[in-house]
Structure 1
Amino acid sequence: MSLVTPKKGYKSVPWLFGKKIEIPDEWEVKSIKELGEIVTGNTPDTTNNEYYHSDFLWASPIDLQKEKYVKQTNVMVSKKGFSISRKIPKDSVLVVCIGSTIGKIGIASVEMSTNQQINSIICNENDSHFIYYQLLHNNYLIKNIANQSAIPILNKTEFGKLKLFIPTKITEQQKIATILSNVDNLIESTGMVITNSKKVKKGLMQKLLTQGIGHTKFKKVPWLFGKDIEIPEEWEVKKTDDIFDFLISGTNARSDLNDVGEIHYIHYGDIHTKWNNELNFDSEKTPRIDKEKVSRLPLLKEGDLIIADASEDVEGSGTSISLKNIKNKKIVAGLHTLVLRRKDETISFEFMKYLTSISYVKIQITSWVTGAKVFGLNKKSCKEIKVPLPPLSEQQKIATILSNIDSKIESQEQYKENLQKLKKSLMQKLLTGEVRV
């Protein structure tokens, strides 16, 4: 049996499952208990209101990994409650070790306490931010080692045995942590820009889709529940049944779909999770299905509006997409969708994709959905939806404004996604010593 010699500057060390792995000569394999003190949190008596107030952070699993630092918690404890809690100092590393969210990680932004589902590491001479990233990178180890019973658990003793690769020089730990923190800061700031852009879009949509552009004269029109609404004088109200033809859709389950079928298949679940108002076939992929399974369904056309008629929450009811850049593709709409095709040019393709975002339309949809755990909108109700409709030229202007914002948000989201990929790559290279700093 031949032995593989480690490359220059690296050494071979024992790792999991009897395997060996190469790390830099200046690095060590250390257990978590060697890196600092481990503190398991506790819960002050929940029946005693004197223990709970908005004085001190008290973390539970729900508070971790929203972002790197734990800056706020759903529940806070009073000075009295904090006095009987197991305190951890600022920059301690928090790890969920019990429950379905086992492996979630965060860093204490201030002195605080946690519940018993969280083990915290109060680092000694090691950099807590480096330990945070190393645990984040090796998150799978926590989940694999945890007792896989009905409730996954990794007790304090077993958690302390978990091993990590650690540079012996704290300066190298700090350099690695700084690089990754800088990328994290960019991801966080980009996320804030996206959130703000979406708020701007929401405000503009509310104004443009109900008041239009530059109108000074408005009229009252009958609406729901005997009430009136005001719309610009040049606008009219039409029912969806007057604007659209309603086509049939499929009933195929996910199990019928594949990656190679001749027909593109639009599943209602993807409308909720993948696409924002529009499905652009130049840049997006869809599941496929074999032709014989959907032979009775009409093929979709450019601009068709597809509404998801089922949702797990009322707010998601009526989520829709319009189709763009279909070209020669063969496409059908599937289970739990309503297919609307415009009858004439009363409504523009560009404006259609914002139809179910009009607040007056959304109110009707949420009023008419039925169900308990899953909320559904039937075709009959959908045909009765009243739409406040601007003249065609104004529709196009409104759609252009909103499309420009959509493009900006899409660009920001792509930038954030690229940063996340960069972070993943850097973690793999820096936290294993493959690249030295």
Structure 2
Amino acid sequence: MELREVKKVSKVYMFPEDWMTMRLCDLADIVTGSTPPTHDLSNYGDEFLFASPADLGSSKYIDETEKKLSAKGFKYSRKFPKGSILFTCIGSTIGKSGMARFAITSNQQINAVLPNKNYNSDFLFYSLSYLSPSIKALAGEQAVPLINKTQFGLTWVTLPTLPEQAAIATALSDMDALIAQTETLIAKKKAIKQGVMQRLLSPVDADGKMKEGWVERRLGDCMSTSPQYGLNASATAFDQSLPAYLRITDITEDGKYSTKNIASVNSPLSSFFYLQKGDIVFARTGASVGKTYLYRISDGPLVFAGFLIRIQCDPMILLSEYLFYYTHSKPYYDWITANSMRSGQPGVNGNEYQELRFWMPHDVEEQLSTVKGLQGMSDEIDHLGLKVAKLSEMKQGMMQSLLTGKIRIHQQTHEPATTI
């Protein structure tokens, strides 16, 4: 099959000759959202979804929004019908998108592409998602990145026939559904784990009686050394010749080390701040105060930063893994809330962390049994997380192949057909 060259957003793409290339503005109506007057509280309620950039990007469909409108507020807003594609066009989140499962509206940071018979809405959603990096590049490096409606409308979109659009959209939607199904399973297993953790870490059994052999300890009495504050130094771009730098932002909510924005540190003092097996670091300030990370050898050499505090447990008294699981329990975060809000800037210092009191089995072997049970559940959740990452990677490959015509799909069977 012959391919033709189409210049689009400063890049050259090759498309099958039977595909059509159009400007987005010639293909569909584009509408910018609006915000009902905020001084009139009667415009807001819990009846109708009111999308902002924060509500886009996590999944294909927009099923929930942080803010909602009343019937009055929705009546006077610009409504987007079911099937509309919402695309963020201002701010740092340019390119985030989502689809309306039912009628919705948005604020003015979002442009909506309204559905019509000229294209398959699902196909166009995936096309714009695929093109989002190129569209975002049009905003440049201004103080407030912005792509106005006219610029957005000039985006080149290349489409096959409607039946092939539907076939491609179905294949990608099936992958999205599989990802969503796995994410739902992860959420379910996390909820189960949280319930099991609450039961295992409680000193009271199901009958309301104190468990035999449990004691209340002060964290400072379970440590082998005093708390140590991290290294105060500036992060640098990652360099394999320098140690990796662990900052608060590198710790996920479930206490893992994220390598998404890995950085290094260049300091003659670095050698004093390397984490060792069994070390736990506690976030001591800011919105993430209380967040913890248990160092794993598999994460590689790490130097911990200044807003973190290192705690080293005495393994004859307290297993660091047991303490780590405790720091993800409700009693712990209740303690963090009570102790971190004494000043304008939330924070808990090393001396205050030593005063943390909690219940634990006196017998270290019983602590180990608890850790093993919870670790098994954690490993299962991690495995599912890797599955989601793999499926997402596969989806990106599918988008690159299907949305450019590199791989064609039989319209009846949705099976790949070789064309080039």
Please identify the structure whose Cα radius of gyration is greater: 1
Deviation for aligned residue 1:139: 0.7
Structure 2 CA distance, aligned partners of 1:418 and 1:174?
25
Q: Deviations over 1:138-185 (max 9, x none)?
A: 112332234765443333333222111111x11111111111111111
| 1:302 equivalent in alignment to 2:295 | no
Residue matched to 2:307 = 336
Residue matched to 1:236 = 215
Alpha carbons of structure 1 residues 428 and 214: separation in structure 2 relative to 1, 3 Å: same
**Given residue 29 of structure 1, which amino acid in structure 2 is its aligned partner?**
T
Residue matched to 2:379 = 407
Question: Is this contact kept in 2: 1:65–1:104, CA < 8 A?
Answer: yes
1:65-104 matches, cutoff 5 A: 65-104=57-96
Alpha carbons of structure 1 residues 215 and 430: separation in structure 2 relative to 1, 3 Å: same
Residue matched to 2:194 = 202
Question: Is this contact kept in 2: 1:247–1:298, CA < 8 A?
Answer: no
Alpha carbons of structure 1 residues 342 and 61: separation in structure 2 relative to 1, 3 Å: closer
RMSD of aligned C-alpha atoms? Answer: 3.4
Deviation for aligned residue 1:399: 0.9
Deviates more, 1:330-339 or 1:204-213: 330-339
| 1:397 equivalent in alignment to 2:369 | yes
Deviation for aligned residue 1:415: 0.7
Which secondary structure state, in structure 1, belongs to the residue aligned with residue 318 of structure 2? coil
| 1:293 equivalent in alignment to 2:286 | no
Alpha carbons of structure 1 residues 20 and 139: separation in structure 2 relative to 1, 3 Å: closer
Question: Is this contact kept in 2: 1:28–1:165, CA < 8 A?
Answer: yes
1:30-109 matches, cutoff 5 A: 30-48=22-40, 51-109=43-101
1:25-424 matches, cutoff 5 A: 25-48=17-40, 51-122=43-114, 123-146=116-139, 149-167=142-160, 169-211=161-203, 217-218=209-210, 232-244=211-223, 245-246=225-226, 248-255=228-235, 258-261=238-241, 266-270=246-250, 272-273=251-252, 276-277=254-255, 292-295=268-271, 297=272, 300-310=275-285, 312-313=286-287, 316-325=288-297, 332-369=303-340, 374-390=345-361, 391-424=363-396
Alpha carbons of structure 1 residues 372 and 428: separation in structure 2 relative to 1, 3 Å: farther
Alpha carbons of structure 1 residues 141 and 400: separation in structure 2 relative to 1, 3 Å: same
Q: Deviations over 1:195-238 (max 9, x none)?
A: 222222222222211236678632xxxxxxxxxxxxx3421122
Which secondary structure state, in structure 2, belongs to the residue aligned with residue 211 of structure 1? coil
- Which has the larger share of strand? 1
- Give the % identical residues: 30
Kindly tell me the number of residue pairs found equivalent between the two proteins. Answer: 406
**Given residue 378 of structure 1, which amino acid in structure 2 is its aligned partner?**
N
Which secondary structure state, in structure 2, belongs to the residue aligned with residue 399 of structure 1? helix
Alpha carbons of structure 1 residues 261 and 100: separation in structure 2 relative to 1, 3 Å: closer
Structure 1 CA distance, aligned partners of 2:192 and 2:348?
29
Question: Is this contact kept in 1: 2:52–2:109, CA < 8 A?
Answer: yes
Alpha carbons of structure 1 residues 9 and 406: separation in structure 2 relative to 1, 3 Å: same
Structure 2 CA distance, aligned partners of 1:192 and 1:105?
21
Q: Deviations over 1:380-406 (max 9, x none)?
A: 222222231202232112111111111
Question: Is this contact kept in 1: 2:86–2:111, CA < 8 A?
Answer: yes
Question: Is this contact kept in 1: 2:230–2:310, CA < 8 A?
Answer: no
Which secondary structure state, in structure 2, belongs to the residue aligned with residue 26 of structure 1? coil
**Given residue 126 of structure 2, which amino acid in structure 1 is its aligned partner?**
Y
Question: Is this contact kept in 1: 2:312–2:320, CA < 8 A?
Answer: no
| 1:430 equivalent in alignment to 2:402 | yes
Deviation for aligned residue 1:106: 1.7
Question: Is this contact kept in 2: 1:263–1:332, CA < 8 A?
Answer: yes
Deviation for aligned residue 1:73: 3.5
Q: Which TM-score applies when normalising by structure 1?
A: 0.80
Q: Deviations over 1:313-356 (max 9, x none)?
A: 2xx323223334479x7665442332222335122344233242
Alpha carbons of structure 1 residues 52 and 198: separation in structure 2 relative to 1, 3 Å: same
Structure 2 CA distance, aligned partners of 1:332 and 1:118?
41
Which secondary structure state, in structure 2, belongs to the residue aligned with residue 376 of structure 1? coil
